[in-house]
Amino acid sequence: MPPRLRATLTALGAPPDPAALEEIVRAVGGSWAELDRLRRTAGTPVDVSGATEAELRARLASQLPCSTRVVKTAWPTDGIATRMTAERLVSSIDDLWYPATDDLVVLHEDADGTSVLVLDHEERLTVVRMHGGGHGGTGRGRGPQGP
């Protein structure tokens, strides 16, 4: 977990939100174990271990195209989630994700459906685009669409 995650989220204007955690878990299939299955539908994860902070921000921004749209963000190991704008997430990523120590899951919903973005503790970025709009659809990926 990032140090002082709860305090950091609150300072960013995005305090922990238990309802957001429930919504993310439901969208990925009802449990964090389902997230692993879902990620396997995404194709090859992108290794971000050598990425600079600017490169990581650019990659995230390209996957979360509407910067003012609210995304749900979770730290599964810690059981913490929140809602924040994609722009806030991207600009604060160095305070919100610590490589090699935690996973970060981002749920992004728009008219085209739902995307689940995962930055994992092994410094891999995976994006799964799911059918359906709004609330997670069926949980089935559209195929190998990576970042």
Segment 80-101, tens digit of pLDDT: 999 999 999 999 999 999 887 7
Look at residues 93, 118, 115 and name the one whose alpha carbon lies nearest to residue 103: 118
Q: pLDDT band at 132, cuts 50/70/90? A: low
Q: pLDDT band at 41, cuts 50/70/90? A: confident
Residue 53 predicted with pLDDT over 90: yes
Segment 110-119, tens digit of pLDDT: 877 889 999 9
pLDDT, position 66: 74
Q: What is the DSSP string of 16-77?
A: --HHHHHHHHHHTTSSHHHHHHHHHTT-SPEE-TT--HHHHHHHHHHHS--TTSEEEEEEGG
pLDDT, position 125: 94
pLDDT, position 127: 92
Q: Which helix (H) or strand (E) holds 5?
A: helix 5-11
Q: Give me Rg for the CA atoms of the chain.
A: 14
Residue 134 predicted with pLDDT over 90: no
Average pLDDT of the chain? 85
CA 1 – CA 111 distance, rounded (Å) = 32
Higher pLDDT, 65 or 84: 84
pLDDT, position 101: 78
